[in-house]
Amino acid sequence: MLELNAERRVRPALGARSAVSGAWDKDTAGAFVEQLFAKHHGEIYAYLVRMLRDGELAADLTQDAFVKAYRNYDTLEKPENARAWLYQIAHRVALDELRRRKIVRFLPWTGESHGAAPSAEHMAMELRLSGDLQRALNQIPERQRAALLLAELHDLTGLELAAALGVSHVAARALLTRARESLRQALAMERAVDAAAETNVSRPLGRGR
C-alpha cells in the first residue's frame, strides 16, 4: 500500500489513500478519479471505441470505467501503474459488454469529429484505406484484438500490456504474437474477398467488349 506523505494529504495524488485511515474515502477517491480522467479519458474512450466500434456505447463505458475506478481506487497499489490499471478496468468493461451484448455486427468506424458527420467522400476514403483492416480486426478474437490495439495504438509497454490484460508478461507477449498472425490471416482473407468482388463487378464490362 502506498503511504501518504503530508503533501499528498493536502493534495491527493494518484493512488492516494485516506489521510486518516488509509481506507476508501470518497473525497480522496473523487479527486483521484478527477485527476485520472483529465489525463486519460481521451485514450480510454478511444480504446473503447476501437474495441466496440460504437461511439455512444464507448462513451457510456468510459463513464462506467471511471466510476469503477472511483469505486475501486484503493486497489491501485502504485500510482505509476494508474494508466495500466485504468486500461485494465476499461478492458474488462469492454469484454463484459461484448459478452453481454453479443456484438457481432460490423460497424465501420472511421473516426469522429466534433459533432459533425463525416462527409460521404471522407467516409469512402476512410473505408477504402482502413475498411479491410477494421473488418479484419473485428474478426480476430477479442482478447487478441485488445492486445493489438493496446500495444500498437495506445503504446502500452510489455508490463503495462500484461497488467491491462490481466495476464502475465509472457502470456501477454504470446497473445500479441498470436494476434499478429490472426490479423495477418484475416486481413489476407478480407483482401482476397475484396479482390474477388472487384473482379465480379468488372466482369460484365469485359464481356461487353
Partner 1 sequence: MSLRFRPRPDHWASSHERARVLAAERVDQPIEATEDAWLNDHLAECQECASVAAAYAAQRAELRGLRRRPPTPPRDLWARTAAAIEREAPATSRGQTAPRRRSYPSAVPLGAISGLLVIAVVVGASLLSRPGPRPSIVGPTAIAASVAPIGSPLLRATPFVVAAANVGWMKLGADGKIEVYDTPVDRVCPAGEGADCPPIAEPTPRSIQLGQAPASVTRSPKDSGLVVVDADTKGNGGGVYVLPGTNATPRPTPTPAESPSTLPSAVVTEPPPTEPPSPPASSEPSPVDTTGSESPSTEPSASPSEVAISPSASVGVTASPTNGTIEIASDVIVVGESEAYSPDGAWFAFSARPADGSHGPDIYLWHPGDPKAIAVTTDHRSMFSAWLGGRILGSRGIATADPTTLLSQAFLIDPTTRHEAPLARTGTWRPSVDPLRRVAVYWDGFLTLDATGTELRPADGHLVLGSWSGAFAPAVTPTPSASAPESAAPPSEPAQSPAEASESPANASPTDSTVASPVAESPMAEASASASATNEQGITPVELASGAVRDWDARWDETGTHLAVWIATEGDPRIGDLTLYSVDSASGKVVTLKRVAALAGFSIGKGRLAWATPHGQDGQGNRVQVVAWTKDSVGSVESRESTEVLVVIR
The footprint of partner 1 (CB under 8 A) covers 9-11, 24, 26-27, 29-31, 33-35, 37-39, 41-42, 45-46, 49-50, 55-56, 58-60, 62-64, 66-67, 70-72, 109-117, 126, 129-130, 133, 148-149, 151-153, 158, 169-170, 173-174, 176-177, 180-181, 183-184, 187-188
For residue 114, the Cα-to-chain-centroid distance in whole angstroms is: 20
Give the number of other CB atoms < 10 A from CB of residue 10: 10
Considering the complex, what minimum distance in angstroms separates the CB of residue 196 from partner 1?
19
Nearer to partner 1, 88 or 134 (CB): 134
Angstrom distance (rounded) from CA 157 to CA 65: 21
Considering the complex, what minimum distance in angstroms separates the CB of residue 203 from partner 1?
28
DSSP designation for 118:
P
What Rg value do the Cα atoms of the chain yield, rounded? 21
Angstrom distance (rounded) from CA 207 to CA 112: 42
Nearer to partner 1, 124 or 202 (CB): 124
